Amino acid sequence: MKAIEARIGMAATLVLALGLRAAGAPPDALAIAKRSDQALRGRTQHGRVSMTVRTPDWERTLDMDTWFENPDRTFIRITGPAKEAGTATLRLGQNMWNYLPQVERVIKIPPSLMLQPWMGSDFSNDDLVKESSLVTDYTHEITGEETFDGDRCYRLVATPKPDAPVVWGRLVLWIRVADDLPRKEEYYGENGDLRKVLNFDDIRRAGDRPYPMRWTMKSLTKPGHETVLAFHSIEFDRPIPARIFTRQNLKRSF
């Protein structure tokens, strides 16, 4: 009798497990946000990037070297064209500085200017240096699954926590189910108006991971304005010398 009861108990457990698998446990929004952030940024990151800014009236391209150390250190140096070469940006925690070689000045960027365009692009200061954190400064909710550009994606809504140092009223993200890679982000102002859209595409292998090698930010408040980041090379999770993330490095030649 005990053997029969044991077999019945095992069978019931198996049926329950299969039922839960079939039903599917609800996705953990915070865990997905963390994995997506890690997929895009890693622990450390070094890349060579071109940034093309387009408007109805003009277009220009900047070449850059970028370094990032999760969660709070960023360094960007423009390497071309010659007119802009040497311009650099450093972020340490909530502090940010720009170096302008034409006037040989280091300028600290106050929090009130984090929404201002970086180098005339459609990326804000905050977008480029990531002062605000998707993981720690927002609460997250999965509102469903949608297909974007052929990929099955979670639709994740990120809402700022009270008193979080963020510049957006809300973010909506499409995150690929297969590998948590971001495919699209929408940026909303404090009044709920959609301000701009960022698409991630040209996905290729970068070391041990797939990576979107082209990011396109389109402004919805300035028709015809867009900025494209094209990654020529990128590497992750390698040690970065401490001297990179220093104010002294802002003025160094390259």
**For 60-110, what is each residue's pLDDT tens digit?**
999 999 999 987 899 999 999 999 999 999 999 888 999 999 999 999 999
What mean pLDDT is predicted for residues 176-198?
96
The verdict on residue 7 lying in a domain is no
Q: Which of 237, 232, 230 is nearest to 200 (CA)?
A: 230
Rounded mean pLDDT of the chain?
88
Looking at residue 150, the DSSP 8-state letter turns out to be T
How many domains would you assign to the chain?
1
Supply angle C-alpha 186, 189, 191, rounded to 5. 130
Q: Tell me the pLDDT tens digit for each residue of 79-91.
A: 999 999 999 999 9
Q: Is the pLDDT of residue 20 over 60?
A: no
Q: With CA atoms as reference, report the closest residue to 236 among 70, 41, 85.
A: 41
- Whether residue 6 is predicted with pLDDT greater than 70 in this model: the reply is no
- Position 93 scores a pLDDT of 85
Q: Is residue 35 part of a domain?
A: yes
The enclosing domain of 73 has a CATH number of 2.50.20.10
Per residue in 193-208, pLDDT (tens digit) is 999 999 999 999 998 8
Residue 241, classed as helix, strand or coil, is coil
The amino acid at 83: K
Q: Which domain holds residue 198?
A: 29-250
pLDDT surpasses 60 at 28: yes
What does the pLDDT look like over 135-172, one tens digit per residue?
888 999 999 999 999 999 999 999 999 988 788 899 99
Asked whether the predicted pLDDT for residue 249 surpasses 60, the reply is yes
User: Residue range 168-185: average pLDDT?
Assistant: 96
In a 13 Å sphere around the CA of 220, the CA atoms on its Cβ side amount to: 10
Residue 112 lies in a domain: yes
pLDDT at position 121 is 95
Within-domain flag for 46: yes
Q: What is the mean pLDDT of residues 120-138?
A: 81
In the prediction, which pLDDT does 2 show?
41
Question: Is residue 133 in some structural domain?
Answer: yes
Helix/strand/coil percentages in the chain, nearest 5: 20, 45, 35
Residues of the chain with pLDDT > 90: what percent? 72
Q: In angstroms, what CA-CA distances link 77 with 51, 54, 81, 85, 190?
A: 12, 21, 12, 8, 31
Rounded to whole angstroms, how far apart are CA atoms 105 and 140? 40
Position 10 in a domain? no
- What is the spatial distance between Cα 78 and Cα 96, in angstroms, rounded to a whole number? 16
Give 200's contacts (C-beta < 8 A, 6+ positions apart): 181, 182, 183, 184, 212, 214, 215
Of the pLDDT bands very low, low, confident and very high (cuts 50, 70, 90), residue 58 is very high
d(CA 140, CA 38): 16
234-to-90, 204, 237 alpha-carbon distances in Å: 19, 11, 11
Q: How much is the pLDDT for 132?
A: 58
Handedness of CA 153, 155, 160, 165 (dihedral sign): positive
Structure-token pair, residue 193? 């108006």
Q: Determine, yes or no, domain membership for 44.
A: yes
Q: Is 34 helix (H, G, I), strand (E, B) or coil?
A: helix
For residue 8, tell me if it sits in a domain. Answer: no
Distance CA 216, CA 230 (A): 9
